[in-house]
Amino acid sequence: MHHDYKRPESVLVVIYTKAGDVLLMERRQPEDYWQSVTGSLEWDEQPREAAIREVREETGLDVSELLADGKKTVRFRILPAWRDRYAPEEQYNTEHLYLVELPEQVDITLNPDEHRQLRWLPARHAALKASSSTNRQAIEKFVVFRR
């Protein structure tokens, strides 16, 4: 295995409220890159474990009881900005979608090493602001059009 490199498999966790507000965070790098919780799986980790870990690391929340499997997996080409984190032969990443519905907005403890700021946005605005197409599509499908 290529343990010196990131595993080309990740999670996307869309956190939203019953009222339809979505949590988005701005990454440190690249600037103005807004996203839901995301992160690569460790080499010995299952997707659900990674989702719970990433939410805790990025927001301070324990969502182990609230995490729902979005039952959607997307494969996409690794962006040039992140190519050097993966083994040279890896061209694609597989992303597993998870969802967390909260009763209302909660206090978030941002990880300052990863994110600059956060916003709770109405789902339609969040979908427009999300920087990745898979993040936009997940917000549209599971939050904007859920009713």
The reported pTM is 0.95
pLDDT in tens, 84-137: 999 999 999 999 999 999 999 999 999 999 999 999 999 999 999 999 999 999
List domains and CATH numbers for the chain.
9-144 (3.90.79.10)
pLDDT of 13 higher than 60: yes
- If you average pLDDT over residues 25-37, what whole number do you get? 94
Binding-site residues for Mg(2+) sit at 54, 58, 114
Binding-site residue ranges for substrate: 6, 27, 38, 132
20 Ramachandran zone, left/alpha/beta (phi>0; psi -120 to 50):
left
Residues 6+ apart with CB under 8 A from 104: 17, 18, 19
**15 pairs with which residues across the strands?**
100
At 83, phi and psi to the nearest 5?
-55, -40
Per-residue pLDDT at 79: 87
pLDDT of 1 > 90? The answer is: no
Binding-site annotation: residue ranges:
6, 27, 38, 54, 58, 114, 132
In the predicted structure, residue 25 carries a pLDDT above the cut 70: yes
Q: Each residue of 63-98: pLDDT tens digit? A: 999 999 999 999 999 989 889 999 999 999 999 999
- DSSP at 73: E
Res 42 pLDDT > 60: yes
